[in-house]
Amino acid sequence: MVESTEAAVSIENVSRGAIRLWLVSLVLIHRPNILTKSYYLYLPTYVTPTGKTTLLKIILGRLIPDSGRVLVFGKEPHSAGHTVPGSDVGYAPQETALYDDLSIAETLQFHATLHGMDDQTFKERKAWIMTFLDLPPESRIVGTLSGGQKRRVSLSVALLHGPKMLILDEPSVGVDPLVRSKIWNYLREIALSGVTVIVTTHYIEEARMADRVAFMRHGSILEEGVPDKLMRKYKRDTLEDVFLLLCKSSDQSVLNQDNNNNSYNNNLEATTSTDFFDVMVSDNNNKDNNNNNNSKSPDNNSNGLNSENEEIEPMYSVNDNYDLNEKSSLLNHKDQRNQFTKNLQQVMAMAKRKLTQIFRNKVVLSFELLSPTFQIVLFFICIGSTPKNLNFAVVNNDIGMGAPFNLNLGTQYISFLSQSPLFEINYFNNTIDAVNSIKNGYNYGAMIIPENFTSTLPLRFQDPTDTALVNQSNINLYLDYSNYQIVVLIEQQMQLSFEAFGESYNMSLNPIIMEPPVYGTTSTNLLSFLAPGMISLIIFAHSIAITAVSFVKEKSDGSLDRIYAIGVNTKIIIAGHFLGHMVLLIVQTTVLMLITIFGFKVPIQGDLALVIAMIMLLGSVGMGMGLVISSVSTQETEAIQLSLATYFPTLLLSGVIAPLESIPKWFIWASYGLPTTWAAKVLRDLMIKGSSFVYRDVWKGFLIVISWAIFVLTLSTFLMKSKQSNSSWFKKKSN
Q: pLDDT tens-digit profile of 8-30?
A: 777 777 776 654 443 333 333 33
Q: What is the DSSP string of 172-213?
A: TTT--HHHHHHHHHHHHHHHHTT-EEEEEE--TGGGGGSSSE
Is pLDDT above 80 for 469?
yes
Give exposure, 155-175, as e/b (b: 16+ Cβ within 10 Å): bbbbbbbbbbbbbbbbbbeeb
Q: Are residues 496 and 548 in the same domain?
A: no
Q: Are residues 496 and 551 in the same domain?
A: no
Is pLDDT above 90 for 83?
no
Distance, CA of 643 to CA of 645 (rounded, Å): 5
For the stretch 249-279, pLDDT in tens is 866 664 455 444 443 333 333 333 344 444 5
Q: Which of 469, 504, 539 is the last residue of a domain?
A: 504
Of 1-10, 67-76, 120-129, 571-580, which range is least confident? 1-10
Q: Are residues 649 and 666 in the same domain?
A: yes
Pairing of strands 423-427, 26-27: unpaired
For the stretch 320-352, pLDDT in tens is 333 333 434 444 444 445 677 888 889 999 999
Total domains in the chain come to 2
In a domain, 57, yes or no: no
For the stretch 93-112, pLDDT in tens is 878 889 988 999 999 999 99
Instruction: Return the pLDDT at 48.
Output: 38
Q: Are residues 500 and 608 in the same domain?
A: no
CB 300 within 8 A of CB 19: no
* Burial bucket for residue 731 (CB in 10 Å: 0-12, 13-18, 19+): middle
- Residue 727 banded pLDDT, cuts 50, 70, 90: very low
Q: Which of 434, 469, 504 is the last residue of a domain?
A: 504
Distance, CA of 164 to CA of 83 (rounded, Å): 10
Pairing of strands 445-449, 390-396: parallel
In a domain, 646, yes or no: yes
Q: Are residues 543 and 433 in the same domain?
A: no
Q: Are residues 546 and 662 in the same domain?
A: yes
CATH code (residue 424): 3.40.190
CB 378 within 8 A of CB 605: no
Q: Which of 448, 470, 504 is the last residue of a domain?
A: 504
- Residue 217 banded pLDDT, cuts 50, 70, 90: low
Q: Are residues 560 and 694 in the same domain?
A: yes
Question: Using CA atoms in the order 13, 17, 19, 20, what is the torsion angle rounded to 10 degrees?
Answer: 30
Q: Are residues 561 and 427 in the same domain?
A: no
In a domain, 133, yes or no: no
Q: Report residue 12: phi and psi, to 5°.
A: -125, 120
Count other C-beta atoms under 10 Å from residue 81's C-beta.
5
In a domain, 200, yes or no: no
Q: Are residues 533 and 640 in the same domain?
A: yes
Q: Are residues 395 and 371 in the same domain?
A: no
Could you tell me which residues come within 8 angstroms of residue 694 by beta carbon, excluding any fewer than 6 positions away?
none
Could you tell me which residues come within 8 angstroms of residue 327 by beta carbon, excluding any fewer than 6 positions away?
164, 193, 194, 195
In a domain, 695, yes or no: yes
H or E stretch at 72: strand 67-72
Distance, CA of 247 to CA of 272 (rounded, Å): 9
Q: Are residues 493 and 569 in the same domain?
A: no
Q: Are residues 553 and 694 in the same domain?
A: yes
In a domain, 715, yes or no: yes
Is pLDDT above 70 for 163?
yes
- pLDDT top residue among 93 and 414: 414
For the stretch 610-627, pLDDT in tens is 999 999 999 999 999 999
The sign one gets for the Cα dihedral 206, 211, 216, 222 is positive
Distance, CA of 546 to CA of 548 (rounded, Å): 6
When mean pLDDT is compared over 2-11, 216-225, 715-724, the highest value belongs to 715-724
In a domain, 481, yes or no: yes
In a domain, 566, yes or no: yes
Q: Which domain holds residue 586?
A: 354-381+525-725
